[in-house]
Amino acid sequence: MEAALLALAGWLDAVGLVAWTRLSPWIYPWANVLHVLGVVMLVGGIGIVDLRIVGLWRSLPLGDLARALTPVAVIGLTLQFASGLVLFAADGPALAGSFVFKTKLVLIALALGNAFAFRFTARGGRDRSPSGLARVSAAVSLALWLVITTLGRLIAYY
Ligand code: HEM
């Protein structure tokens, strides 16, 4: 994984993104602001739907909630990848060796895998009474996104 991240860092440098992140002192801080906004949209959007599937707010129609919040989460995810790439470009070689950063990326892949498996096996969680499998998947999703967010914050310290 370290070799792949070093190759990505080299490619981002070759296409000029690394130099671009250093053009102005404002690029990195604003990428970080967008990264935090993305967390709010992604983890906030998915988190509320997961909590409903697990069993909270049973009077709230799950279908309506999922239809309203899924696009918010998808926009948040897109923001995470775009702003994350800028944050990574600014310090690629060092982050390639960061255990915390690599663990975060592995958990993001697991969380996305869980989300896709959920969409295609648990009827997209839009049943009024989600199955046991859907509840487990939603609980795993919630735990993963909270750990990913925590690791994201810890990257700067380890
Ligand atoms: C997809 C879900 C993601 C979540 C929920 C997430 C979450 C976070 C959080 C909460 C922070 C701390 C921000 C702060 O307080 O300043 C962070 C930092 C960071 N993230 Fe992400 N992130 C995600 C994806 C990515 C991706 C895809 C990349 C890179 C390709 C990335 C690269 C980084 C970097 C480099 C930092 C450190 C920034 C710093 O400490 O200055 N993140 N992330």
Mean pLDDT, range 94-111, rounded to an integer: 98
- Indicate if ligand 1 lies below 6 Å from the C-beta of 32: yes
- Indicate if ligand 1 lies below 6 Å from the C-beta of 148: yes
**pLDDT tens sequence across 105-119:** 999 999 999 999 887
- Indicate if ligand 1 lies below 6 Å from the C-beta of 95: yes
Mean pLDDT, range 148-154, rounded to an integer: 98
Closest Cα to atom 31 of ligand 1: 84
C-alpha angle 17-22-27 in degrees, rounded to nearest 5:
85
Residue 48: pLDDT over 90 = yes
Question: What tokens does 156 get?
Answer: 């700067």
What are the φ and ψ backbone dihedral angles of 59, each rounded to 5 degrees?
Answer: -80, -15
Least confident range from 56-60, 85-89, 119-123: namely 119-123
Assess contact for 114 and 137: CB atoms under 8 A.
yes
Overall pTM surpassing 0.85 (yes/no): yes
Residue 39: pLDDT over 90 = yes
pLDDT band at 67 (very low <50, low <70, confident <90, very high): very high
- Looking at residue 77, what is its pLDDT? 98
- Looking at residue 68, what is its pLDDT? 97
Distance CA 30, CA 51 (A): 31
- Looking at residue 50, what is its pLDDT? 96
Question: What tokens does 123 get?
Answer: 């009827």
Distance CA 61, CA 149 (A): 28
Distance CA 135, CA 38 (A): 25
Distance CA 155, CA 158 (A): 6
Quick one: CA dihedral 148, 85, 6, 26, positive or negative? negative
Residue 123: pLDDT over 60 = no
Residue 51: pLDDT over 90 = yes
Mean pLDDT, range 81-88, rounded to an integer: 96
Q: Probe ligand 1: pick from 6, 98, 104, max atoms within 8 Å of CB?
A: 104
Percent of the chain with pLDDT over 90: 82
DSSP 8-class letter at 82: H
- Indicate if ligand 1 lies below 6 Å from the C-beta of 154: no
Distance CA 25, CA 132 (A): 50
Question: What tokens does 22 get?
Answer: 């250093």
- Looking at residue 125, what is its pLDDT? 52
C-alpha angle 91-97-98 in degrees, rounded to nearest 5:
80
pLDDT band at 127 (very low <50, low <70, confident <90, very high): low
